[in-house]
Structures are given as C-alpha cells and as structure tokens.
C-alpha cells in the first residue's frame, strides 16, 4: 500500500467547503490585508497560548528576525543558537546583521545542551541567545535556560516554529518565554494555506516594536519611526488559520496518539526512539529515531522498497552547512549535532493517519530488524 512521510490533505468533513465559502466572501469584499480575520486570529492565538501579545507576520523566519530586531539585535552583535536546528534560525541571525555562535546538542533530548550553553556564555558574552524547541518538545533544562538568561541579562528568543500546542510544566511552552516565535508553514502543527508566522510575548514594548517593524516601521500610515519591512500576514491566511484552530484539538490529539504509539512499539523493538522529557506534553510534530549510520542506510533502502516515506530532520548541523562558512564565528561543545544528523531517521507522522498505516510502517521496521 505504501505510506507517505506526510499528507496534509486529510481535512475534516466540511472543512474545505467552509474554507472555499470564506475565500468567496472575502474576495467579494476585497478583504486581503489586515481586518477582522487577522484581529480575530491574534486574539485566538493569545487565548490558546496564554500570552498577552500575539503579532502575526509573513513566515517563521521573519518572526525570528522581528523578535531579534525588537530586542535591539543588529550589526556586530553576538548571538548564541543551537547547532541542531533548521537553517532559518541561523539565517535570521545573519540577516539582522549579527554574528552567530553555535552550541552543541544534548544527546538525551536532542535540544541545545545547557552546560555547553553556560560555557559559551562565559566565553562569548553574547548580546542575545536563541533556543529552538525542536521536534515537538523542548529542552529538559528549559527553566534553567530561561533563569540563566534572566540572571545574565541576555535576552532569550525562543524559536517555537515546531512547538505550537506543546505543554511545558502544565502551561503553553510560549507562556513564560521572554519572546517566542512560530511558523504556520503548511506542514507545521498549525499550518496555513501558504506561509505565515507569529511572535508571542508578554512585554508590551516588544510587542509594539514587532508590530511596527512588520509593517514598514510605521508609526502612522505615512510616518515611519523605524526601518522595518513588509512582513504582514495576509487576511486569507488568517481566515484559514482561524478555521483550522476550530479543529486543532482533534488534529493535535491524532498526532499525539500516533507519536506515542511509535514510541511504545519502537522501544519494544529495541529502536533508539527519542521520547520527550517528562515535564512536556509533546504536540506530535515529529517521530525521531537514531540508527547507527550503516543501519540507517539499510533501513532507508527497505523503507523505499516498501513505499514508506521517511525524512532525516536534519541531515546537517548548522556548522556543517556550506553557507555557514562565511558567517559562523564560533562553535561550542563536541560533535553531538553532527552525530545526530548522521543517524536521525523520522517516520511518517501526520494528523488523521490510519491505524493500518502506522502498523504497516511498524511491520516493515520489525521485518528489517528481525531479518
Ligand atoms: C526550527 C524552525 N525555525 C524556523 C523555521 C522557519 O519557518 P518558515 O518556513 O515559516 O519561515 C522553521 C520552519 O521550517 C523551523 O522548523
């Protein structure tokens, strides 16, 4: 039969009809920028994430850039970030004119390592830091990262592109962040019908600056207090996200159920499947396993033969990307990030998978391991 790595076309009954009706109505009114849908979405995001301010923007990369700019990061500033992340985190630092320094990964939760981060702070004396909540959970030391940064007066930006819906210590992971960001790229846990992103904060000054920067630095329609750019989320995307939020609890539950099933069954098969730290409820964004390199290649061949989709998120750490050479100013820790990128394998996981699909994937792994 075969199972795709991801299928984002499995909509709830009636969802597409409601969306098409919305597009027609908004098109008739030429309601394309700002307006009621964007306002409603920002309200919904504040409520859902238990934060005071949600500012929507064009994509998750812009959200990081807006957050960095709003906390005053620019040319010549030093920023720490994890060596294991999606390239956009690195790009955002460079694009605001700052210098990136990467920190190695903890082998237990696959997030930035706290001890290496502490060491990097002492050596670099950074102007800001970014932590990334990767794979649908976050660091088991997140509280310590936040406290240390507060103590050292280092503004901490939390790249939560993959962590929409994650619960940390019984609250939204975004709630107690100084400033957090997310992405609404269609394959994300809350995905739009195109690109989108948001910045979350409880700080009114940061919120105000993010909003202005994302709209040409406007203070009035033709008054520009800052040099920003156009990073507005368009109204159609906002409408799609508002409709999606109505179904979000079921989508989340479906992901979480299959994420858990993989963890239980793969563990029984002796696979090194990564389980979120105990104070998290993951959002089921990703299934993550580590296979020694030669075994991973053999398994990938088997999966391909059986039509099972898979991914390696991510196949290179930041410091191993060709584009990093010109900009990378420092690297802290061992080679865990590289080791992970050489052994990581992700299996199909998306909302409304069929039980039979998960079983098919597990069956192929079982046959491979028993062969
Ligand atoms: C960790 C991380 N940061 C940033 C981004 C960038 O988001 P976008 O693709 O919406 O710009 C992504 C999404 O792909 C991501 O996974």
| pLDDT per position as a tens digit, 22-33 | 999 999 999 999
pLDDT (0 to 100) of residue 293: 78
What is the CA(161)–ligand 1 centre distance, in A? Answer: 5
With a 6 A CB cut-off, is 237 part of the ligand 1 pocket?
A: no
352 CB-near residues (< 8 Å, 6+ apart)? 10, 251, 254
- Which tens digit of pLDDT belongs to each residue from 283-316? 999 999 999 879 999 999 999 999 999 999 999 9
Indicate if the pLDDT at residue 66 is higher than 90: yes
Mean pLDDT for the stretch of residues 140-148? 98
Question: Is residue 131 very low, low, confident or very high in pLDDT (cuts 50, 70, 90)?
Answer: very high
* Ligand 1 pocket mutation pick from 63, 136, 158, 183 by most atoms within 8 angstroms of CB: 183
Query: What percentage of the chain exceeds 90 in pLDDT?
Result: 99
Q: How far is the CA of 66 from the centre of ligand 1 (A)?
A: 14
For a ligand 1 pocket test, name from 65, 66, 86, 194 the mutation site with the most ligand atoms within 8 angstroms of its C-beta. Answer: 86
In this prediction, residue 371 carries a pLDDT of: 86
Distance CA 94, CA 141 (A): 26
Nearest atom of ligand 1 to the alpha carbon of 187: 14
Whether residue 206 has its Cβ less than 6 Å from ligand 1:
no
Nearest Cα neighbor of 133 from 116, 146, 121 is 146
195 lines ligand 1 (CB under 6 A): yes
pLDDT of residue 97: 98
In this structure, the residue with its CA closest to atom 10 of ligand 1 is 60
Q: Would you say 358 and 261 are in contact if contact means Cβ atoms under 8 Å apart? A: yes
Residue 113: pLDDT over 90: yes
Do residues 162 and 114 make contact, with C-beta atoms less than 8 angstroms apart? no
Centre of ligand 1 to C-alpha 183, Å, is 6
Ligand 1, atom nearest to 85 Cα: 1
Spacing, Cα 73 to ligand 1 middle (Å): 20
185 close to ligand 1 (CB < 6 Angstrom) = yes
pLDDT band at 1 (very low <50, low <70, confident <90, very high): confident
Task: Give percent above pLDDT 70 in the chain.
Answer: 100
339-to-106, 162, 270, 285, 319 alpha-carbon distances in Å:
11, 21, 19, 22, 13
Contact 214, 228 (CB under 8 A): yes
With 90 as the cut, is the pLDDT of residue 277 above it?
yes
pLDDT at position 275 is 98
- Given a cut of 90, whether residue 96 has pLDDT beyond it is yes
Distances from the Cα of 169 to the Cα of 140, 185, 281, 287, 288, angstroms = 10, 26, 9, 21, 22
320: DSSP letter = G
Instruction: Determine whether the shortest distance from the Cβ of 61 to ligand 1 is under 6 A.
Output: yes
Q: Residue 91, class by beta-carbon neighbours within 10 Å (0-12 exposed, 13-18 middle, 19+ buried)?
A: middle
- Residue 355: DSSP 8-state: H
Closest-CA residue to 312 (of 352, 339, 284):
339
Using the mean position of ligand 1's atoms as its centre, give its distance from the Cα of residue 82 in Å: 14
pLDDT at res. 254: 98
188-198 burial: b if 16+ Cβ within 10 Å, else e: bbbbbbebbbb
Distance CA(155)–CA(69), nearest Å, equals: 12
Q: Is 159 in the pocket of ligand 1 (CB under 6 A)?
A: yes
Q: How confident is the model at residue 217 (pLDDT cuts 50, 70, 90)?
A: very high
Distance 363 CA to ligand 1 centre (A): 32
For the chain, which domains are there? 15-243 (3.40.640.10), 248-370 (3.90.1150.10)
Q: What is the mean pLDDT of the chain?
A: 98
Q: Could you tell me which residues are beta bridge partners of residue 289?
A: 273, 345
Is there an atom of ligand 1 within 6 Å of 132 CB?
yes
Residue bearing tokens 């584009």:
323
Contact 247, 18 (CB under 8 A): no
Contacts for 177 with CB less than 8 Å, ≥ 6 apart:
146, 156, 158, 160, 200, 201
Name the residue among 316, 314, 318, 248 with its Cα closest to residue 284.
248
pLDDT of residue 329: 98
Q: How confident is the model at residue 86, as a pLDDT?
A: 98
Token look-up 């940390």 returns 168
Q: pLDDT at residue 93 above 90?
A: yes
Higher pLDDT, 1 or 34: 34
Structure tokens at 14: 């009636």
Cα 130 to ligand 1 centroid, rounded to whole Å: 13
Query: What residues does 171 pair with on adjacent strands?
Result: 168
- Ligand 1 centroid to Cα of residue 358, in Å, is 26
Q: Where do runs of H (alpha helix) occur along the chain? A: 15-28, 36-49, 60-70, 87-95, 114-124, 142-152, 204-213, 235-268, 293-305, 336-343, 355-370
Q: How far is the CA of 64 from the centre of ligand 1 (A)?
A: 9
Kind and range of the H or E element at 101?
A: strand 99-103
């Amino acid at each position: 039969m075969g199972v795709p790595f991801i299928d984002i076309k499995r909509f709830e009954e009636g969802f597409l009809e409601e969306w098409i009706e919305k597009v027609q109505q908004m098109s008739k009114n030429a309601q394309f920028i700002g307006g009621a849908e964007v306002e409603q979405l920002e309200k919904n995001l504040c409520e859902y994430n238990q934060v005071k301010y949600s500012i929507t923007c064009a994509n998750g990369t812009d959200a990081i850039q807006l957050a960095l700019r709003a906390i005053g990061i620019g040319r010549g500033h030093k920023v720490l970030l994890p060596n294991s992340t999606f390239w956009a985190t690195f790009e955002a630092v460079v694009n605001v004119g700052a210098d990136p320094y990467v920190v190695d990964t903890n082998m237990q939760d696959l997030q930035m390592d706290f001890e290496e981060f502490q060491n990097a702070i002492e050596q670099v004396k950074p102007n800001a830091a970014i932590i990334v909540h990767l794979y649908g959970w976050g660091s088991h030391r997140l509280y310590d990262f936040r406290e240390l940064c507060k103590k050292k007066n280092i503004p901490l930006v939390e790249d939560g592109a993959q962590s929409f819906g994650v619960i940390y210590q019984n609250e939204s992971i975004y709630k107690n962040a100084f400033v957090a960001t997310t992405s609404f790229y269609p394959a994300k846990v809350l995905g739009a019908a195109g690109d989108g992103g948001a910045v979350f904060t409880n700080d009114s000054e940061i919120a105000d600056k993010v909003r202005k920067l994302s709209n040409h630095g406007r203070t009035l329609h033709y008054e520009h207090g800052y040099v920003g750019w156009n990073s507005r989320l368009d109204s159609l995307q906002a409408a799609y996200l508002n409709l999606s939020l109505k179904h979000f609890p079921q989508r989340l539950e479906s992901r979480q159920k299959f994420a858990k099933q993989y963890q239980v069954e793969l563990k029984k098969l002796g696979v090194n499947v990564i389980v979120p730290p105990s104070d998290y409820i993951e959002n089921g964004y990703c299934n993550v396993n580590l296979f020694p390199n030669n075994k991973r290649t053999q398994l990938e061949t088997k999966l391909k033969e059986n039509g099972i989709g898979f991914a390696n998120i991510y196949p290179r750490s930041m410091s191993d990307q060709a584009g990093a050479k010109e900009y990378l100013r420092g690297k802290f820790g061992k080679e865990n990030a590289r080791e992970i990128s050489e052994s990581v394998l992700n299996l199909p996981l998306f909302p409304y998978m069929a039980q039979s699909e998960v079983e098919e994937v597990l069956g192929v792994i079982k046959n491979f391991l028993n062969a």
